[in-house]
A = this chain, B = another copy of it.
Amino acid sequence: MELRRWPRKNDPDSIRARQEELAPRLDGEREVFEHDLTPFAKATEAITGVALVPVAVVGPLDVELGDYALEEPDGRLVERGRGREGVYVPLANTEGGLSISLYRGARAVGESGGFRTYVLKDRITRASAFLFADVGEAVAFARWIEAQVPEMQAWLASDPVANLSRHARLRELETHVVGPVCHVMYAYTTGDACGMNMITRNSYALNQGFVLERAPIRPQRAMLEGNMGGDKKPSARYFERGGHGKTVVAEATLSEEAVRRVLKTSIDDLAELAFVGTHGAVASGMQSVAFTPATAIAALFTATGQDIGMVGTSSMAHGTARRVDGGLHVSMRLASLEVATVGGGTTLPYARSWLRLMGCDGPGKVYRLAQIVTAATLSLEISASAAMATAGSENFYRAHFERGGLR
């Protein structure tokens, strides 16, 4: 195989060179090349064209949102107030029925008193690993490093090396010894950014500049990530405890009237579906208890420049449904919702605008965005469940069949 290097630069000549090289493979379809790529030149190497995804907008979602901030120095979330408003959500998708179904769920909740959302936790984790000669050394190292957090915080604050992120603040660390390896889970907060790049830089600096310099037992190897970190791979650890983004819960109490009139089903139907679906999830070793959390999250992530590779981890979902007086209480817990309102893809055109539509562009908005995404996810979950819960799931079938859009 020929090993000529593929040009990676994003100057106009390099872009054009790539396009010309590839054009023959496209049989004259050049629309993908015909956008101004300048605004995107720093987004990815070897940029060559664009993808364009249609965006539906539905709303308003009637949501009571919490106003959250991190308490210093421990980084615990505190709720400073709550407010209710109507929000429109942009859904980049090509799945006929999705947007109208989500809207139906939102209307049912709107008629029932609205959503309420809560952010429970905010951490993002880089799990470095240190390999030793034996378990005894790894255990001794674990004991040592567990006591270093204050010193590490001070060291990072002293600006010891260039290009550290000030937004990424180390909050805690946790160790896990298995075999001759000590995994170290560094937990950070990262402001309004998702923060993986930030915490990578800071963790690398910690490992090289602090740990390897000071550890009483020198590891054979230091690895920036030893795969306990939950980055883009769902795991039991992060499903239970969060730690890769925001842990958020949305809830609503559906009235009998709204269930009947808007959702065209009954509380009984929904309760029986919850029974069947919860045990079905357990039976197949599904981690999430939910019908379709990833659908709404994917549509919002694509519209707003989030990392699409994080759709799977952000969709680790635990939904509940419980009869209460006069209706059905429903909730959706997203354990590790990885969203940003600054940095990465959120800085680009289109993404920026769709964030703005929700009042989520720029700093200080990340908890707002996390709550809106969770409410939207619960909206779709309610509607999809309602469609499935009718006799024989007739409504679900119709949604797929009649409004199935592209086939």
Q: Which residues of B contact A312 (CB under 8 A)?
A: 234, 294, 311-313, 315
Pick the contact of A240 from B176, B302, B354, B359 — CB < 8 Å? B176
The answer to whether B302 and A233 have CB atoms under 8 Å apart is no
Residue A333 lies at the interface, judged by CB distance under 8 Å to chain B: yes
The answer to whether A103 and B6 have CB atoms under 8 Å apart is yes
Residue A148 lies at the interface, judged by CB distance under 8 Å to chain B: no
The answer to whether B233 and A406 have CB atoms under 8 Å apart is no
Residue A388 lies at the interface, judged by CB distance under 8 Å to chain B: yes
Can you list 29 A-B pairs with a CB-CB distance of less than 8 A? A1-B86, A2-B60, A2-B86, A22-B57, A31-B349, A42-B406, A44-B55, A44-B405, A46-B58, A46-B99, A51-B53, A92-B308, A94-B348, A116-B135, A129-B276, A129-B277, A131-B276, A180-B251, A181-B320, A204-B393, A225-B277, A228-B283, A233-B315, A238-B284, A278-B278, A282-B289, A283-B318, A309-B315, A312-B313
Q: Which residues of B contact A48 (CB under 8 A)?
A: 55-57, 90
* Residues A406 and B43 in contact in the complex (CB < 8 Å), given A49-B55, A322-B180: yes
Most buried by B among A118, A277, A282: A282
* Residues A98 and B44 in contact in the complex (CB < 8 Å), given A233-B315, A278-B227: yes
The answer to whether B286 and A234 have CB atoms under 8 Å apart is yes
Residue A285 lies at the interface, judged by CB distance under 8 Å to chain B: yes
A319 (CB) vs chain B CBs: closest residue: B179
Residue A27 lies at the interface, judged by CB distance under 8 Å to chain B: yes
The answer to whether A407 and B282 have CB atoms under 8 Å apart is no
